[in-house]
């Protein structure tokens, strides 16, 4: 049963440029422009009309955009829940400008070891994450630690939790790595390792969408009966001001927005693309968290029930549910 036909999320790529070279991501290899304030303002109004509730300003490294604070302010003032993930390298410099504008601020950290984390990110950013935590806390912000889990760093989860998350009163978000295109996430986690993550996700100050784990146990999305609702739950806007369908990672079709996002998203051409969500050959076995999370939220099935407890736990802890109230 579908709970809503409206999209709930916009993944807004402010630029593909990045100051890191993560081994599990290829976005930093792409040339890219930067989005404009004029386009953002127009698109946000159309996103509001479409029913979108959450705007994720992403990249690349979103803090590379010099107007990122203005984008966040616009979205926040319009009542959207705002979210942003950063490697932390620019956050200490920009923190004052960003204060109070990000509902869900995530710092990426994949190990308690400086050497291991920096090696995976391809740049020395561990110290910036540690500094960013202290700067954010001093400003009254409530950042999260986003830990991308691979087989090779699974053993680091405990140390990050004990030495970084708990002492700083943060929330640990466990983000199971996923493969896409030619980017590999290494050897897949075993059933025993998935069991370990499930148990870890039940701890205090930890968020793990259990639907992600269930999907991996089931072998990912299946085109014969797709769980992925990427195109109908999530709008992806590129730095070129294009609507990308069915999702960023496949990018099968790109439609210039030209100031008419609402009309474009409800057009016959886009509706035809929505009908293919989760059914394309490349969708078989997909476990991309960015699109599964909203997919689990709009349709009542076993993934909905798997995801619900952790989602409620996180939103209660963060207080983001208050931003959805009509007053």
Q: Are 166 and 277 in contact (CB under 8 A)?
A: no
pLDDT averaged over every residue in the chain: 92
Q: In what order do the strands lie in the sheet with 81-86?
A: 206-207, 171-176, 144-149, 104-108, 81-86, 54-58, 9-13, 234-237, 242-245, 253-256
pLDDT at 327: 42
- Domains in the chain (CATH in brackets) are 9-324 (3.20.20.70)
Q: pLDDT tens for residues 25-56?
A: 666 556 688 899 999 999 999 999 999 999 99
pLDDT at 119: 85
Structure tokens at 251: 């990018």
pTM listed for this prediction: 0.93
CA-to-CA dists, residue 181 to 17, 26, 258, 309, angstroms:
19, 9, 28, 31
Burial class (CB in 10 A: 0-12, 13-18, 19+), 124: middle
pLDDT at 320: 77
**Residue 190, preceding bond cis, omega within 30 degrees?**
no
Q: Are 105 and 84 in contact (CB under 8 A)?
A: yes
pLDDT at 144: 98
In angstroms, rounded to a whole number, what is the distance separating the alpha carbons of residues 191 and 212?
13
Whether 83 shows a pLDDT value over 60: the answer reads yes
CA-to-CA dists, residue 163 to 111, 113, 160, 172, angstroms:
11, 11, 5, 12
pLDDT at 28: 57
Q: Are 244 and 251 in contact (CB under 8 A)?
A: yes
Residue 253 host element (H or E): strand 253-256
Range of lowest pLDDT (25-39, 246-260, 301-315): 25-39
Q: pLDDT tens for residues 312-325?
A: 999 998 887 666 55
pLDDT band at 24 (very low <50, low <70, confident <90, very high): low
Q: pLDDT tens for residues 113-171?
A: 999 888 888 789 999 999 999 999 999 999 999 999 999 899 999 999 999 999 999 99
Q: pLDDT tens for residues 205-238?
A: 999 999 999 999 999 999 999 999 999 999 999 9
């Amino acid at each position: 049963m579908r709970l809503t036909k409206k999209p709930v999320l916009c993944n807004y790529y402010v630029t593909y440029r990045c100051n890191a070279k993560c081994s599990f991501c290829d976005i930093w290899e792409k040339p890219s422009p930067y989005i404009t304030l004029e386009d953002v303002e127009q698109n946000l109004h159309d996103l509001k009309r479409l029913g979108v509730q959450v705007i994720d300003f992403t990249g690349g490294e979103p803090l590379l955009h010099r107007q990122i604070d203005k984008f966040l302010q616009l979205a926040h003032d319009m009542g959207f829940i705002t979210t942003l993930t950063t490697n932390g390298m620019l956050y200490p410099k920009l923190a004052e400008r960003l204060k109070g504008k990000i509902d869900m601020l995530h710092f990426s950290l994949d190990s308690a070891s400086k050497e291991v984390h920096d090696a995976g990110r391809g740049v020395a950013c561990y110290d910036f994450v540690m500094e960013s935590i202290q700067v954010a806390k001093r400003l009254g912000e409530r950042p999260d630690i986003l830990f991308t889990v691979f087989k090779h760093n699974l053993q680091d989860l405990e140390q990050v939790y004990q030495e970084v998350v708990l002492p700083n009163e943060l929330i640990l978000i466990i983000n199971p790595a996923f493969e896409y295109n030619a980017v590999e996430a290494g050897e897949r986690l075993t059933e025993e390792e998935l069991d370990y993550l499930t148990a870890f996700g039940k701890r205090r100050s930890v968020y793990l969408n259990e639907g992600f784990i269930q999907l991996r146990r089931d072998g990912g999305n299946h085109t014969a009966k797709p769980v992925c609702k990427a195109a109908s739950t999530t709008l992806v806007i590129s730095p070129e001001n294009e609507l990308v369908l069915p999702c960023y990672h496949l990018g099968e079709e790109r439609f210039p927005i030209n100031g008419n996002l609402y009309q474009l998203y409800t057009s016959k051409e886009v509706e035809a693309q929505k009908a293919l969500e989760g059914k394309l050959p490349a969708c078989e076995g997909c476990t991309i968290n960015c699109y599964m999370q909203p997919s689990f939220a709009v349709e009542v099935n076993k993934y909905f029930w798997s995801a619900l407890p952790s989602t409620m736990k996180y939103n209660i802890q963060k207080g983001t549910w208050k931003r959805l109230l009509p007053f």
